[in-house]
Protein backbone atom coordinates (compact mmCIF):
# COMPACT_ATOMS: atom_id res chain seq x y z
CA UNK A 1 0.00 0.00 0.00
CA UNK A 2 2.79 2.46 1.04
CA UNK A 3 6.12 2.66 -0.68
CA UNK A 4 9.29 1.67 1.19
CA UNK A 5 10.49 5.31 1.57
CA UNK A 6 7.28 6.30 3.28
CA UNK A 7 7.44 3.33 5.67
CA UNK A 8 11.04 4.18 6.62
CA UNK A 9 10.22 7.88 7.30
CA UNK A 10 7.17 6.86 9.28
CA UNK A 11 9.19 4.43 11.42
CA UNK A 12 11.84 7.17 11.98
CA UNK A 13 9.14 9.63 13.05
CA UNK A 14 7.65 7.13 15.53
CA UNK A 15 11.09 6.37 17.00
CA UNK A 16 11.91 10.08 17.42
CA UNK A 17 8.53 10.70 19.09
CA UNK A 18 9.04 7.76 21.49
CA UNK A 19 12.56 8.93 22.38
CA UNK A 20 11.32 12.48 22.99
CA UNK A 21 8.52 11.18 25.24
CA UNK A 22 11.02 9.08 27.17
CA UNK A 23 13.38 12.03 27.54
CA UNK A 24 10.60 14.34 28.74
CA UNK A 25 9.11 11.82 31.26
CA UNK A 26 10.03 13.16 34.68
CA UNK A 27 12.51 10.90 36.44
CA UNK A 28 11.19 9.24 39.58
CA UNK A 29 12.22 10.81 42.89
CA UNK A 30 14.54 8.49 44.86
CA UNK A 31 12.51 7.05 47.73
CA UNK A 32 15.04 8.46 50.21
CA UNK A 33 14.34 11.95 48.79
CA UNK A 34 10.69 11.44 49.67
CA UNK A 35 11.51 11.23 53.38
CA UNK A 36 9.97 14.64 54.20
CA UNK A 37 6.75 13.58 52.44
CA UNK A 38 6.61 10.28 54.35
CA UNK A 39 7.23 11.99 57.68
CA UNK A 40 4.67 14.72 56.94
CA UNK A 41 2.08 12.04 56.09
CA UNK A 42 2.59 9.87 59.19
CA UNK A 43 2.91 12.95 61.46
CA UNK A 44 -0.38 14.38 60.14
CA UNK A 45 -2.17 11.02 60.47
CA UNK A 46 -0.94 10.49 64.04
CA UNK A 47 -2.07 13.97 65.10
CA UNK A 48 -5.44 13.62 63.37
CA UNK A 49 -6.42 10.38 65.08
CA UNK A 50 -4.94 11.30 68.46
CA UNK A 51 -8.32 12.57 69.70
CA UNK A 52 -9.82 9.12 69.03
CA UNK A 53 -7.32 7.17 71.17
CA UNK A 54 -9.30 5.25 73.80
CA UNK A 55 -12.71 6.40 72.51
CA UNK A 56 -13.89 3.01 71.25
CA UNK A 57 -14.45 4.44 67.75
CA UNK A 58 -12.06 2.53 65.50
CA UNK A 59 -13.76 3.66 62.29
CA UNK A 60 -13.58 7.37 63.21
CA UNK A 61 -9.92 7.02 64.14
CA UNK A 62 -9.16 5.32 60.84
CA UNK A 63 -11.11 7.95 58.87
CA UNK A 64 -9.28 10.82 60.57
CA UNK A 65 -5.88 9.26 59.92
CA UNK A 66 -6.75 8.46 56.30
CA UNK A 67 -8.00 11.96 55.47
CA UNK A 68 -4.98 13.62 57.08
CA UNK A 69 -2.63 11.33 55.21
CA UNK A 70 -4.41 11.93 51.91
CA UNK A 71 -4.07 15.71 52.38
CA UNK A 72 -0.37 15.40 53.23
CA UNK A 73 0.34 13.11 50.26
CA UNK A 74 -1.38 15.60 47.92
CA UNK A 75 1.69 17.81 48.50
CA UNK A 76 4.20 15.10 47.48
CA UNK A 77 6.82 16.27 44.95
CA UNK A 78 5.92 13.51 42.50
CA UNK A 79 3.07 11.24 41.49
CA UNK A 80 2.55 8.43 44.00
CA UNK A 81 0.32 5.47 43.20
CA UNK A 82 -1.25 3.52 46.04
CA UNK A 83 -0.27 -0.05 45.17
CA UNK A 84 -1.62 -1.59 48.34
CA UNK A 85 -3.69 0.21 50.94
CA UNK A 86 -5.25 -1.08 54.13
CA UNK A 87 -9.01 -0.92 54.58
CA UNK A 88 -10.65 -3.18 52.01
CA UNK A 89 -10.57 -6.28 54.22
CA UNK A 90 -12.42 -4.53 57.08
CA UNK A 91 -14.42 -2.15 54.87
CA UNK A 92 -12.56 0.62 56.70
CA UNK A 93 -11.76 4.10 55.34
CA UNK A 94 -8.79 3.80 53.05
CA UNK A 95 -6.48 5.26 50.50
CA UNK A 96 -7.72 3.41 47.43
CA UNK A 97 -5.67 0.99 45.39
CA UNK A 98 -4.45 2.82 42.28
CA UNK A 99 -5.29 6.21 43.81
CA UNK A 100 -2.75 8.72 42.50
CA UNK A 101 -1.54 11.43 44.88
CA UNK A 102 0.96 14.26 44.67
CA UNK A 103 1.72 17.46 42.82
CA UNK A 104 2.95 15.67 39.70
CA UNK A 105 6.33 14.76 38.33
CA UNK A 106 8.25 11.53 38.76
CA UNK A 107 6.29 8.45 39.76
CA UNK A 108 6.67 6.31 42.90
CA UNK A 109 4.81 3.40 44.54
CA UNK A 110 2.98 3.63 47.87
CA UNK A 111 2.00 0.97 50.43
CA UNK A 112 0.07 2.44 53.31
CA UNK A 113 -1.86 1.85 56.50
CA UNK A 114 -2.71 5.30 57.91
CA UNK A 115 -3.68 3.69 61.22
CA UNK A 116 -2.00 0.35 61.86
CA UNK A 117 -3.61 -1.38 64.87
CA UNK A 118 -6.93 0.42 64.78
CA UNK A 119 -8.31 -1.70 67.63
CA UNK A 120 -5.41 -0.83 69.92
CA UNK A 121 -6.05 2.85 69.17
CA UNK A 122 -9.78 2.51 69.93
CA UNK A 123 -8.98 0.71 73.19
CA UNK A 124 -6.34 3.25 74.21
CA UNK A 125 -3.68 0.53 74.25
CA UNK A 126 -0.04 0.98 73.16
CA UNK A 127 1.03 -0.13 69.69
CA UNK A 128 -1.05 1.92 67.20
CA UNK A 129 1.08 3.59 64.49
CA UNK A 130 0.59 5.71 61.38
CA UNK A 131 2.58 3.90 58.68
CA UNK A 132 3.65 4.35 55.05
CA UNK A 133 6.23 3.00 52.61
CA UNK A 134 7.47 4.29 49.25
CA UNK A 135 9.39 2.48 46.52
CA UNK A 136 10.56 3.02 42.96
CA UNK A 137 7.70 2.95 40.44
CA UNK A 138 6.56 -0.54 39.48
CA UNK A 139 8.75 -2.18 42.10
CA UNK A 140 6.11 -3.15 44.70
CA UNK A 141 4.28 -6.46 44.29
CA UNK A 142 0.79 -5.90 42.87
CA UNK A 143 -1.14 -7.85 45.54
CA UNK A 144 -4.02 -5.51 46.29
CA UNK A 145 -6.66 -8.28 46.11
CA UNK A 146 -4.83 -10.21 48.84
CA UNK A 147 -5.68 -9.40 52.47
CA UNK A 148 -3.47 -11.89 54.33
CA UNK A 149 -0.05 -13.44 53.90
CA UNK A 150 2.21 -15.81 55.83
CA UNK A 151 5.39 -13.98 56.77
CA UNK A 152 8.80 -14.79 58.15
CA UNK A 153 11.13 -11.90 58.92
CA UNK A 154 14.64 -11.69 60.38
CA UNK A 155 17.89 -9.78 60.09
CA UNK A 156 21.16 -11.38 59.01
CA UNK A 157 22.61 -13.87 59.75
CA UNK A 158 19.46 -15.74 60.86
CA UNK A 159 17.60 -14.60 57.73
CA UNK A 160 20.06 -16.31 55.41
CA UNK A 161 19.53 -19.63 57.20
CA UNK A 162 15.72 -19.92 57.37
CA UNK A 163 12.92 -20.54 54.86
CA UNK A 164 9.12 -20.23 54.97
CA UNK A 165 8.86 -23.67 53.36
CA UNK A 166 10.47 -25.31 56.41
CA UNK A 167 8.79 -26.26 59.68
CA UNK A 168 8.93 -23.78 62.57
CA UNK A 169 11.12 -26.22 64.50
CA UNK A 170 13.64 -26.47 61.64
CA UNK A 171 13.70 -22.68 61.28
CA UNK A 172 14.41 -22.29 65.00
CA UNK A 173 17.21 -24.84 64.75
CA UNK A 174 18.77 -23.08 61.75
CA UNK A 175 18.38 -19.58 63.23
CA UNK A 176 19.96 -20.76 66.50
CA UNK A 177 22.87 -22.28 64.57
CA UNK A 178 23.35 -19.09 62.52
CA UNK A 179 23.27 -16.95 65.65
CA UNK A 180 25.44 -19.39 67.62
CA UNK A 181 22.89 -19.51 70.43
CA UNK A 182 20.64 -22.22 71.85
CA UNK A 183 17.01 -22.31 70.65
CA UNK A 184 16.02 -21.39 74.22
CA UNK A 185 17.71 -18.01 73.72
CA UNK A 186 15.68 -17.17 70.59
CA UNK A 187 12.85 -14.62 70.79
CA UNK A 188 10.09 -14.96 68.21
CA UNK A 189 7.22 -12.51 67.65
CA UNK A 190 3.90 -14.18 66.73
CA UNK A 191 0.63 -12.22 66.92
CA UNK A 192 -1.76 -13.57 69.55
CA UNK A 193 -4.47 -14.74 67.13
CA UNK A 194 -6.56 -17.94 67.27
CA UNK A 195 -5.04 -19.02 63.94
CA UNK A 196 -1.58 -19.02 65.57
CA UNK A 197 -2.43 -21.24 68.54
CA UNK A 198 -0.79 -24.37 67.08
CA UNK A 199 2.24 -22.40 65.85
CA UNK A 200 2.80 -20.80 69.27
CA UNK A 201 2.47 -24.22 70.97
CA UNK A 202 5.07 -25.69 68.63
CA UNK A 203 7.50 -22.82 69.20
CA UNK A 204 7.08 -23.21 72.98
CA UNK A 205 7.54 -26.97 72.70
CA UNK A 206 10.76 -26.38 70.75
CA UNK A 207 11.99 -24.18 73.61
CA UNK A 208 11.82 -20.67 72.10
CA UNK A 209 10.58 -17.56 73.88
CA UNK A 210 7.43 -16.32 72.09
CA UNK A 211 6.37 -12.68 72.30
CA UNK A 212 2.65 -12.42 71.44
CA UNK A 213 1.21 -8.91 71.09
CA UNK A 214 -2.53 -8.86 70.29
CA UNK A 215 -1.93 -6.86 67.10
CA UNK A 216 0.79 -5.14 65.14
CA UNK A 217 2.95 -7.27 62.92
CA UNK A 218 4.68 -4.23 61.37
CA UNK A 219 6.03 -3.25 64.78
CA UNK A 220 6.67 -6.94 65.48
CA UNK A 221 8.70 -7.26 62.30
CA UNK A 222 10.71 -4.16 63.19
CA UNK A 223 11.66 -5.84 66.47
CA UNK A 224 13.22 -8.61 64.36
CA UNK A 225 14.75 -6.25 61.75
CA UNK A 226 16.18 -3.25 63.59
CA UNK A 227 19.81 -3.64 64.64
CA UNK A 228 18.80 -2.98 68.28
CA UNK A 229 15.54 -4.98 68.02
CA UNK A 230 14.71 -7.27 70.94
CA UNK A 231 13.48 -10.22 68.80
CA UNK A 232 15.17 -12.59 66.36
CA UNK A 233 12.24 -13.60 64.16
CA UNK A 234 8.67 -12.70 63.28
CA UNK A 235 6.55 -15.61 62.06
CA UNK A 236 2.84 -15.80 61.29
CA UNK A 237 -0.08 -14.72 59.16
CA UNK A 238 -0.93 -11.03 58.96
CA UNK A 239 -2.16 -8.31 56.64
CA UNK A 240 -0.80 -8.02 53.09
CA UNK A 241 -0.41 -4.21 53.10
CA UNK A 242 1.48 -4.58 56.39
CA UNK A 243 3.59 -7.25 54.68
CA UNK A 244 4.51 -5.03 51.74
CA UNK A 245 5.38 -2.17 54.10
CA UNK A 246 7.50 -4.55 56.16
CA UNK A 247 9.27 -5.66 52.98
CA UNK A 248 10.10 -2.00 52.23
CA UNK A 249 11.61 -1.63 55.72
CA UNK A 250 13.50 -4.92 55.34
CA UNK A 251 14.87 -3.96 51.95
CA UNK A 252 15.92 -0.48 53.07
CA UNK A 253 17.69 -2.03 56.07
CA UNK A 254 19.33 -4.94 54.28
CA UNK A 255 17.10 -7.34 56.24
CA UNK A 256 15.38 -10.52 55.13
CA UNK A 257 11.75 -11.57 54.57
CA UNK A 258 9.67 -14.17 52.74
CA UNK A 259 5.87 -14.28 52.32
CA UNK A 260 3.15 -16.50 50.86
CA UNK A 261 -0.44 -15.42 50.17
CA UNK A 262 -2.73 -16.96 52.79
CA UNK A 263 -6.39 -16.17 52.11
CA UNK A 264 -8.50 -16.36 55.27
CA UNK A 265 -11.93 -16.04 53.64
CA UNK A 266 -13.65 -17.54 50.62
CA UNK A 267 -14.10 -14.19 48.86
CA UNK A 268 -10.39 -13.49 49.26
CA UNK A 269 -9.44 -16.92 47.89
CA UNK A 270 -11.78 -16.37 44.93
CA UNK A 271 -10.28 -12.94 44.21
CA UNK A 272 -6.76 -14.40 44.24
CA UNK A 273 -7.83 -17.17 41.85
CA UNK A 274 -9.45 -14.62 39.51
CA UNK A 275 -6.25 -12.58 39.52
CA UNK A 276 -4.22 -15.72 38.79
CA UNK A 277 -2.22 -15.38 42.02
CA UNK A 278 -0.62 -18.58 43.28
CA UNK A 279 -1.07 -19.36 47.00
CA UNK A 280 1.83 -21.85 46.91
CA UNK A 281 4.39 -19.37 45.68
CA UNK A 282 6.94 -18.10 48.16
CA UNK A 283 7.65 -14.43 47.57
CA UNK A 284 11.25 -13.47 48.23
CA UNK A 285 12.07 -9.96 49.42
CA UNK A 286 12.92 -8.91 45.84
CA UNK A 287 9.49 -10.10 44.68
CA UNK A 288 7.74 -8.05 47.37
CA UNK A 289 9.72 -4.91 46.59
CA UNK A 290 12.16 -4.96 43.73
CA UNK A 291 13.71 -1.49 44.06
CA UNK A 292 14.95 1.12 46.45
CA UNK A 293 12.43 1.73 49.25
CA UNK A 294 11.64 3.79 52.34
CA UNK A 295 9.48 3.09 55.40
CA UNK A 296 8.16 5.59 57.96
CA UNK A 297 5.96 5.34 61.04
CA UNK A 298 4.75 7.74 63.73
CA UNK A 299 3.49 6.73 67.17
CA UNK A 300 -0.23 7.13 67.86
CA UNK A 301 -1.00 5.42 71.17
CA UNK A 302 2.54 4.98 72.53
CA UNK A 303 4.56 1.87 73.19
CA UNK A 304 8.14 0.65 73.22
CA UNK A 305 8.81 1.53 69.56
CA UNK A 306 7.35 5.05 69.32
CA UNK A 307 5.83 7.52 71.79
CA UNK A 308 2.29 8.84 71.51
CA UNK A 309 2.06 12.56 70.56
CA UNK A 310 2.88 14.83 73.50
CA UNK A 311 2.75 18.52 74.41
CA UNK A 312 5.93 20.59 74.87
CA UNK A 313 6.03 24.37 75.32
CA UNK A 314 2.77 24.99 73.45
CA UNK A 315 3.66 22.59 70.69
CA UNK A 316 2.37 19.13 69.84
CA UNK A 317 5.23 16.74 69.16
CA UNK A 318 5.28 13.37 67.44
CA UNK A 319 7.82 10.55 67.53
CA UNK A 320 8.69 8.91 64.18
CA UNK A 321 11.07 6.41 62.73
CA UNK A 322 12.24 6.49 59.13
CA UNK A 323 14.18 3.71 57.46
CA UNK A 324 15.88 4.41 54.12
CA UNK A 325 19.15 3.71 52.33
CA UNK A 326 20.45 1.40 55.06
CA UNK A 327 19.90 3.91 57.86
CA UNK A 328 17.40 4.27 60.70
CA UNK A 329 16.51 7.76 61.89
CA UNK A 330 14.41 8.80 64.86
CA UNK A 331 12.62 12.09 64.24
CA UNK A 332 10.65 14.40 66.55
CA UNK A 333 8.33 16.77 64.69
CA UNK A 334 6.53 19.68 66.36
CA UNK A 335 3.41 21.64 65.45
CA UNK A 336 2.10 24.78 67.18
CA UNK A 337 -0.78 23.42 69.28
CA UNK A 338 -3.12 26.27 68.33
CA UNK A 339 -5.73 25.19 65.82
CA UNK A 340 -5.14 21.48 66.26
CA UNK A 341 -8.08 19.37 67.35
CA UNK A 342 -7.67 17.79 70.79
P1 LIG B 1 -5.36 -3.10 61.68
O2 LIG B 1 -4.69 -1.85 61.29
O3 LIG B 1 -6.27 -3.64 60.64
O4 LIG B 1 -6.00 -3.00 63.03
O5 LIG B 1 -4.16 -4.19 61.75
C6 LIG B 1 -3.68 -4.73 62.95
C7 LIG B 1 -3.08 -6.07 62.64
O8 LIG B 1 -2.70 -6.72 63.84
C9 LIG B 1 -1.88 -6.03 61.69
O10 LIG B 1 -0.67 -5.67 62.31
C11 LIG B 1 -1.88 -7.41 61.15
O12 LIG B 1 -1.14 -7.51 59.96
C13 LIG B 1 -3.36 -7.64 60.96
O14 LIG B 1 -4.01 -6.87 61.95
C15 LIG B 1 -3.81 -9.04 61.12
O16 LIG B 1 -5.17 -9.09 60.81
P17 LIG B 1 -6.31 -9.62 61.79
O18 LIG B 1 -6.42 -8.65 62.95
O19 LIG B 1 -7.53 -9.63 60.95
O20 LIG B 1 -5.88 -10.97 62.24
What is the residue extent of each domain of the chain?
31-139+294-336, 148-289
Q: Is the CB of 37 under 6 A from ligand 1?
A: no
Residue 268 scores a pLDDT above 80: yes
> Does the reported pTM lie above 0.75?
yes
Distance between Cα 226 and ligand 1 center (Å): 21
| Ligand 1 nearest atom to the CA of residue 90, by list position | 3
Q: What is the pLDDT of residue 30?
A: 80
| Ligand 1 nearest atom to the CA of residue 119, by list position | 4
Q: Is the CB of 242 under 6 A from ligand 1?
A: yes
Ligand 1: which residue has its CA nearest to atom 15? Answer: 238
162 in Cβ contact with 152 (< 8 Å): yes
Fold of the domain spanning 31-139+294-336: Fructose-1,6-Bisphosphatase; Chain A, domain 1 (3.30.540)
Distance between Cα 240 and ligand 1 center (Å): 9
pLDDT in tens, 160-180: 999 999 999 999 999 999 999
Question: Between β-strands 327-336 and 233-239, what pairing exists: parallel, antiparallel or unpaired?
Answer: unpaired
332: how many CB neighbours lie within 10 A of its CB?
Answer: 12
Burial of 201 by CB count in 10 Å (0-12 exposed, 13-18 middle, 19+ buried)? exposed
Q: Nearest CA to 71 among 39, 47, 44?
A: 44
Residue 110 scores a pLDDT above 80: yes
272 in Cβ contact with 261 (< 8 Å): yes
Mutate to test the pocket of ligand 1, among 53, 116, 193 (most ligand atoms within 8 A of CB): 116
pLDDT in tens, 269-291: 999 999 999 999 999 999 999 99
Q: Check: CATH 3.40.190.90 for 148-289?
A: yes
Amino acid sequence: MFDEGFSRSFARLMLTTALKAERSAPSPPAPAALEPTALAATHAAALACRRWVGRGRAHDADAAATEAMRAALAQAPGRGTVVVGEGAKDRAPMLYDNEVLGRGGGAFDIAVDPLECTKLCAKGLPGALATIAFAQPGSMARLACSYYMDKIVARAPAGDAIDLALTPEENLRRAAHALDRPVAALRVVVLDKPRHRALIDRLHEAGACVISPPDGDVAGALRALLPDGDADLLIGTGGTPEGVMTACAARALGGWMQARLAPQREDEAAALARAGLDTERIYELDDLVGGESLFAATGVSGGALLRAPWRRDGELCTDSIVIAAGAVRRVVQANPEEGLSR
